[in-house]
């Protein structure tokens, strides 16, 4: 079925067309209003290469024309990602008559729009109440879908974080069971608290130090308490403190050194 797009003769008397548009602008505007991709809703998909092919303009000229109509004349909007174009006053000049066939056609075309902001852009100028309400209903539909999608994404993100958290605990729990023994609930809770306060790497380092002394969890926890009190919360900070301590060993008398070690003073 052939499609018809009408332009009112007053188009040529519009002050913007008469005074602000170049001959190329006028031809380009008529093309935007009547090209084969134009839909009933005033939103349609078209590429700039396609415009260049159908108008005979170079791609560079088409890019300049798009810029003028977007930012200077402010008569269109264009989504570079979805390649959708919307004509500003389309609803004012083309959507005055309602009726079921028209509403059915508009509804079908609105369902194919990817960028909901373009529906709102066109809908603001629609003069027919029933058609304007239809545009508004699609805006609400997109808002509800976006909200639901956002909630689902937030829930998935929380689940992913919880999964990563469990994996973090699991690595420390597994290390403990392989090297010390069965992990009871009391120790598991204690390990989890230290992992949250410091990090799994720091907790495992404390366990390793306990193992070298042939000690168990209470000894490792004592090390963690000292590190926490001294604000040694990372592996780097702990290693730096040990290096600093070793450098000053030769400058300290054996008696003073023994007292400092007892106090847990490695500074």
Report whether pLDDT(87) > 80: yes
Q: Percent of the chain at pLDDT above 70?
A: 79
pLDDT at 147: 45
Report whether pLDDT(166) > 60: yes
Greater confidence (194 vs 250) lies with 194
pLDDT, tens digit, 9 for 90 and up, residues 105-148: 888 999 899 998 999 899 888 888 888 888 888 877 665 555 44
Report whether pLDDT(2) > 70: no
Report whether pLDDT(154) > 80: no
pLDDT, tens digit, 9 for 90 and up, residues 176-230: 888 888 878 888 888 888 988 888 889 989 999 999 988 889 999 999 999 989 8
- In the predicted model, what is the mean pLDDT of residues 238-249? 74
Which DSSP string corresponds to the chain?
A: --------GGGGG-HIIIII--HHHHHHHHHHHHSTT--TTSEEE--HHHHHHHH---HHHHHHHHHIIIIIS--EEEETTTTEEEETTHHHHH-----HHHHHHHHHHHTT-S-HHHHHHHHTT--SHHHHHHHHHHHHHHHHHHHHHHHHHHHHHHHHHHHHHHHHHHHHHHHHHHHT----HHHHHHHHHHHHHS-HHHHHHHHHHHHHTT--HHHHHHHHHHHHHTT--SHHHHHHHHHHHHHTGGGS-HHHHHHHHHHT---
Task: Please report the domains of the chain, with CATH numbers, ordered by start residue.
Answer: 9-127 (1.10.10), 162-263 (1.10.10.630)
């Amino acid at each position: 079925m052939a499609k018809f797009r009408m332009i009112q003769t007053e188009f040529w008397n519009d002050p913007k067309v008469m005074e602000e548009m170049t001959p190329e602008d006028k031809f380009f505007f008529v093309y935007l209003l009547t090209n084969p991709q134009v839909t009933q809703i005033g939103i349609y998909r078209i590429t700039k290469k396609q415009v260049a092919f159908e108008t005979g303009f170079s791609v560079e000229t088409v890019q300049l024309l798009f810029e003028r109509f977007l930012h200077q004349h402010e008569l269109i909007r264009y989504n570079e990602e979805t390649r959708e174009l919307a004509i500003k006053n389309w609803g004012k000049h083309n959507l005055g008559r309602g009726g079921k066939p028209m509403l059915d056609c508009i509804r079908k075309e609105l369902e194919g729009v990817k960028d909901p902001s373009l529906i709102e852009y066109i809908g603001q100028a629609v003069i027919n109440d029933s058609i304007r309400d239809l545009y508004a209903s699609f805006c609400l539909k997109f808002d509800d879908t976006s909200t639901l999608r956002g909630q689902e994404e937030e829930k998935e993100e929380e689940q992913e974080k919880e999964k990563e958290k469990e994996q973090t605990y699991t690595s420390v729990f597994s290390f403990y069971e392989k090297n010390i023994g069965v992990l009871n609930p009391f120790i598991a809770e204690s390990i989890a608290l230290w992992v949250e306060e410091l990090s799994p790497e720091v907790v495992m380092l404390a366990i390793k130090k306990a193992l070298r002394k042939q000690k168990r969890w209470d000894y490792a926890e004592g090390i963690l308490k000292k590190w926490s009190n001294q604000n040694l919360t990372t592996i780097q900070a702990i290693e730096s403190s040990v290096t600093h301590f070793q450098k000053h060993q030769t400058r300290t008398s054996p008696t003073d050194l023994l007292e400092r070690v007892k106090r847990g003073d490695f500074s």
